[in-house]
Structure 1
C-alpha cells in the first residue's frame, strides 16, 4: 500500500509495509523512499505565524526546563499562545496498545518503563509513530481553538500566533516526519548537559546511582534494534544546540532569546566563532568518501583565525588526501581494492581466525559453529576496532595539514569536529597543544576519556586539561538557511528591525500547506492503528 505526501513540489512516496504473517499490523514508515517532481496540490499563501519546535535531549539534560523557558519567552516577547506536547504523555496514553498497560509514575521504573513502551510502540507502528501522534494533537488543538479558515476550498490555518513545543524526541525518523510535514516552520533544539550534572539531577529525584548507566545507555543509543531510543543520532539533526548545565537560568534564557531572534529574523545576526568553526568542519566532512562515516574537523587559533581543516579519507603519496580532482589516480576505497571497507574486511578475517584458532585448540563447545561465534564476537569491542581503516581521521589530517603547510597558532587553539574524537585522535590533539575541542555527535567507541583522563576533561574551566565539550550554537547544517536567507536587511537605508509581536519565522512552510500533510498523517495513523486491532496484534 502506498501513501503519497506532497512537500514543496515533490511527491514523497512512502511505503506502508505489512508486518510478518504472524501479525497483520501495518507500520507507519516515515523514511522517504522515492522523490518525483510534480505540480503542488494547491496554491496557498506561504505566510504563517504558526511554529512547531521539537526538543531533543538525554535523560537529565533539562529538556522540560528548556521547554518551559521557550514557552515563557514566546508568550511574553512574541505574543504567542504556546502548547507543550509531552512525548511521555503520548506514550502513557498509548500504553494500552503494548504489553505494559499501566506504567509506573515515578522513580527509575517510570523512566525504564517509558523507554520500553516507546520502543514497543515504534516497533509495532513504525519509528515515527510518536511524532505522528504529536502531529495529531497539533491538528486537534488547532481545530478546537477555531484555528481554520473554512472559506477556502481546502481549509487553511488562520494567522494565529500559535506555537507547539514537543518535549521530547528520541528517534531520527521523528525528526524526518516533522520536517516533511511542517517544512520551514519546524525548528529542532538539542538540549545537553555533562553526564555528571545529569547524574546529580536524577539522584536528586531519588534514582539510585547504580541504575543510571543502564538508563543513559538505552536512552542515547538503544542497541535492541532500530526501534529503540536514538537520542545521539536525533540530536545531530537539530537546528540549535543548547547547553543547560547551570543552576542559574539567566544564561539559558539568553541563549534561547538569541536563537529565537535568528528564527524570526528580528535584526542582523551573524555566526559567532564557534558556529563558523563547526560550519567549517561540516563543510570539510562533505569531501570525505569514507564508506563508514563522513567526519570533518577545523582548527582555529586562540585569536579566532582558521588554521586548517581536515576530513577522513585515504592519504596519497607526497602529502594530502585523494580527492575527486585526482581522476583515474583516485584510489579511495570506493574505487580501489575491491571497492569495499577494508576495516570491515579485516575484522571479518579476524573473526575467522579466532574461530579457527579456538576450533584447533578444542575450545569450542559442541554445536558452536562459525556463525554463532561471529554473532558473539560482534557483541564485543572487537566489532569496534577502527585500526584497519585506510583513512586518516579528520582531526589527525587537520593537525598534519597545519604542519604540512607551515601554519602556526595551533597551540592554545580550538578544534571543531563533527564527531567526538576517537582515542587515537585524542592523543594527537593533546600532543599538538590544542586547548579546547568542540564536537556535535558523540562517539561511543572512543576511549579518549578512559585512557587520557589525566589530560582531558569534559568540564569547561579546568585549565590544566584539554576541554572536550559538546558544541553549543546554531546547527552547522542550518547556518546558511539562517544567516544567508536573502531577506532584505535594510529599509530606506536603515537596518531593518522587526517587531517581535508581529514577526514570522524566516523560512516558509511547505508550498501546498502543512495542514494537508497533517491530514494525511492522521489518516495513516487511523489506518495503522485499526489494522493492528483488526489483526489481533498484541
Structure 2
C-alpha cells in the first residue's frame, strides 16, 4: 500500500515540521537517487520510487480545507478498501481504477530492462481510445530480447543498429565491458543490455534522449494517429508513472484535460509545461486498487444471486 500526496504539499508539510529546503533536497536525493549494487547503503535505505511501483493499493492524502472533517477523504478511502477486504465484490471498480488497471496490465508488454510503464488514453467519458507501453518502435527488437554477446559475435544482426555494428569506438568499449558478463552467460541467462546506459557511459553524459524505447504515454498517443482513432481533446491520460517533459508537451498539444499518475516524474514537466498557459490539464494523483489487489477486492467469491439463494434456504 502506498499513501501519498502531491509533491508540493509533501514539501510544505515537511517545511511545517521544521525541515529546510536543503534538507528536503538531501532527503529526496537519498530516497530517489541512483542505486549502486556495490554500495551497502543501497540495501538499507528507503526506495520510495520502488515502493510506489510495487504497490497495488494507492491512497491519496491531500491537503483539505474542510476544517470540520479534515481527514474525511482519507478515511473514506480506507473504509472502502477495508469493506472490500471483508466482502470482495461489494462494489464495482471506479472508472479511474478500471482505466489504470488497463495501463498496469499494458506495462507488462514492455521489453525495457530498466522499468516498465503503461499508459491509457480515454475520451472525457472514460472510453478507452488507445493503450501504450514503453518499448522500441514496431519492427525493432526490444532490449529484453537482445544479447550483448550476439552483438559481439555478429549473431542476430537484424536486432542491432548500424551504429552498434559499425562504430569502432563503441564496439571496442562494449566488447571490453562484456567480459565481466561471461560468467553470467555460462549460466544460460540472456545477457541483455541497455543501449542508453552503454552510450551515455561512452560519451560521459546522462541523457535520456538516447533511449531506444518510446515512452508509454508517447506510444499511446501515436497509436491513435497510426490506426485512425478519433480526437482526444478534453480526454484523459492514465499512466503508471507520470509524463516526462516531452510527453507532457504532447499531452498539452492534444488537449488532454486530466492526467492521472502514480509516480511523480523527477523533472520540471509538471510545473513548467503542464502548468504554463491557458489550457492547463489537471494533474490528479491516482488513488485506488490495481494489480493483484484489483482482482482480490473486486472479484466476488460467488455470484451474488447464488449467495442470496443460498441464504434464503
Q: If the length of structure 1 is used for normalisation, what is the TM-score?
A: 0.44
1:214 aligns with 2:26: yes
Question: Aligned runs of 1:276-425 on 2, under 5 Å?
Answer: 276-315=98-137, 321-322=138-139, 331-333=141-143, 334-335=145-146, 336-337=159-160, 340-351=193-204, 382-383=205-206, 385-425=207-247
1:199 matched residue in structure 2: 11
Question: Aligned runs of 1:62-461 on 2, under 5 Å?
Answer: 189-221=1-33, 225-247=42-64, 248-265=70-87, 268-315=90-137, 321-322=138-139, 331-333=141-143, 334-335=145-146, 336-337=159-160, 340-351=193-204, 382-383=205-206, 385-444=207-266, 446-449=267-270, 451-452=272-273, 454-455=275-276
**8 Å CA contact 1:242, 1:255 repeated in 2:** yes
Among 468, 482, 486, which residue is 2:297 paired with? 482
Report the Cα offset of residue 451 of structure 1: 4.1
**8 Å CA contact 1:416, 1:438 repeated in 2:** yes
User: What are structure 1's unaligned runs of at least 5 residues?
Assistant: 1-188, 316-320, 323-329, 352-381, 457-462, 497-538
Q: Secondary structure in 2 aligned to 1:340?
A: coil
**8 Å CA contact 1:299, 1:309 repeated in 2:** yes
Whole-Å separation in 1 of the counterparts to 2:210 and 2:218: 16
**8 Å CA contact 1:299, 1:415 repeated in 2:** yes
Whole-Å separation in 1 of the counterparts to 2:308 and 2:298: 20
Deviations for 1:33-73, whole angstroms, at most 9, x for unmatched residues? xxxxxxxxxxxxxxxxxxxxxxxxxxxxxxxxxxxxxxxxx
Q: If the length of structure 2 is used for normalisation, what is the TM-score?
A: 0.73
Q: Secondary structure in 1 aligned to 2:115?
A: coil
Deviations for 1:310-339, whole angstroms, at most 9, x for unmatched residues? 111221xxxxx24xxxxxxx6333232275
Report the Cα offset of residue 222 of structure 1: 7.6
Q: Secondary structure in 1 aligned to 2:11?
A: helix
Report the Cα offset of residue 473 of structure 1: 0.7
**Distance of aligned partners of 1:485 and 1:406 in 2 relative to their CA distance in 1, 3 Å threshold:** same
Greater Rg, structure 1 or structure 2? 1
Larger fraction in helix:
2
Report the Cα offset of residue 308 of structure 1: 0.4
Whole-Å separation in 2 of the counterparts to 1:278 and 1:453: 20
1:141 matched residue in structure 2: none
**Distance of aligned partners of 1:450 and 1:307 in 2 relative to their CA distance in 1, 3 Å threshold:** same
**8 Å CA contact 2:274, 2:281 repeated in 1:** no
**8 Å CA contact 2:252, 2:274 repeated in 1:** no
**Distance of aligned partners of 1:313 and 1:190 in 2 relative to their CA distance in 1, 3 Å threshold:** same
Whole-Å separation in 2 of the counterparts to 1:243 and 1:425: 24
Q: Secondary structure in 2 aligned to 1:419?
A: coil
**8 Å CA contact 1:343, 1:390 repeated in 2:** yes
2:283 matched residue in structure 1: 468
Report the Cα offset of residue 492 of structure 1: 5.6
**Distance of aligned partners of 1:349 and 1:416 in 2 relative to their CA distance in 1, 3 Å threshold:** same
**8 Å CA contact 1:302, 1:409 repeated in 2:** no
Report the Cα offset of residue 395 of structure 1: 0.6
The total of aligned residue pairs comes to 258
**8 Å CA contact 1:222, 1:230 repeated in 2:** no
1:43 matched residue in structure 2: none
Report the Cα offset of residue 230 of structure 1: 0.9
Larger fraction in strand:
1
1:35 matched residue in structure 2: none
**8 Å CA contact 1:290, 1:313 repeated in 2:** yes
**8 Å CA contact 2:89, 2:297 repeated in 1:** no
User: What are structure 2's unaligned runs of at least 5 residues?
Assistant: 36-40, 65-69, 147-158, 165-191
**8 Å CA contact 1:298, 1:415 repeated in 2:** yes
Deviations for 1:441-497, whole angstroms, at most 9, x for unmatched residues? 3333x44135425438xxxxxx8412233211113342122223544434564698x
